[in-house]
Amino acid sequence: MLGGGYQFKPIMGENGPLFSQRIELDFLFPLGSYSPKYAFNPGSNTVTFNPYYAFTAFVTPSLSISARLSYLWNAQNNRPWVGYQDAKSSQAGQAYNINFAIGYTLTPTVTVGLNGYFFKQFTDLKVDHARLPGQKEQVLGVGPGMMVSINENNFFWINYYQETLAENRSKGSKLVIRLDHEF
């Protein structure tokens, strides 16, 4: 991945920050192994452009609302999956994704809240430049979450998502556990 971003200076109030925002322009390059024999691969054999805009609004010193709005575009794959039967190219449809969270700070180190994501593909998959209708994906996942600030460089997250509104993809529940260390 290669990208660049800009973190705007936060808007401050009497009791701390009121609004924070950033933009980022990311490019993902085909680095993992890829074989057209398999429908699922570590690599994609295509370039992806994935910009986003993110913000956090601090409603009160303890209550915040955050979102990240992303766009997803994939270049053409000139070695498509063999399941497309003698196709010379394929191109995934364009999509947008919204991640969101409402957090309430219980203590200086523990925040709890509701978080989720919504993914929607809004253009069709193309095979040999022809659209394949009926393939657009969509899903909404929502659930509780918690973040623990272990110290100024280490953070722990645990989030649970229940998926719904799924179209042309599986749905279920997900438990995501993440530990971040800032260098």
Cβ contacts of 176 within 8 Å, gap of 6 or more: 157, 158, 159, 160, 161
Residues 58-69: tens digit of each pLDDT: 999 999 999 999
**Which phi and psi (to 5°) does residue 84 adopt?**
-85, 10
Host domain of residue 41? 2-181
Residue 1 pLDDT > 90, yes or no?
no
The pLDDT-based confidence of 180 (bands split at 50, 70, 90) is: very high
Residues 30-82: tens digit of each pLDDT: 988 999 999 888 888 999 999 999 999 999 999 999 999 999 999 999 999 99
Q: Are 58 and 30 in contact (CB under 8 A)?
A: no
Residue 109 pLDDT > 90, yes or no?
yes
**The pTM is what?**
0.89
**CATH code for the domain of 46:** 2.40.160
Structural domain count of the chain: 1
Residues 131-178: tens digit of each pLDDT: 999 999 999 999 999 999 999 999 999 999 999 999 999 999 999 999
